[in-house]
Amino acid sequence: MNRRNNKQRNDFGVGGGLRVEVRNNDINGALRKFKKKVQEDGILQELKERQHFEKPSLVRKKAKAAGRKRWMKKQEKLRGEI
């Protein structure tokens, strides 16, 4: 099954969700792997976004500001290399 179908299954509550196997009683290692998976999937970020409704105009404004910030950061990096 490809990734797209797997994602659709998880959206409808069907499927396993995130799983991490604990090997040799290494709970700290399993916890690190779990946190990495949660971070990659953006679960916590989505949860924070859903806590309060945000107007679409504010979403666009924030996205544009973030893009501008990335562009300025890239420009500063290029100036530093010269």
pLDDT digits (tens, 9 = 90+) for 8-55: 444 545 556 888 899 999 999 999 999 999 999 989 989 998 999 999
pTM above 0.75, yes or no: no
**Using CA atoms, how far apart are residues 82 and 67, in angstroms rounded to an integer?**
23
pLDDT at 12: 46
Residues 42, 45, 48, 50, Cα dihedral to 10°: -50
Q: Nearest 5 degrees, angle CA 13-CA 41-CA 74?
A: 150
Q: In which band, very low, low, confident or very high, does the pLDDT at 81 lie, cut at 50, 70 and 90?
A: confident
Name residues whose C-beta falls within 8 Å of residue 38's C-beta, 6 or more positions apart in sequence: 18, 44
Judge whether residue 57 has pLDDT over 60: yes
* Pair 41, 19: CB distance under 8 Å: no
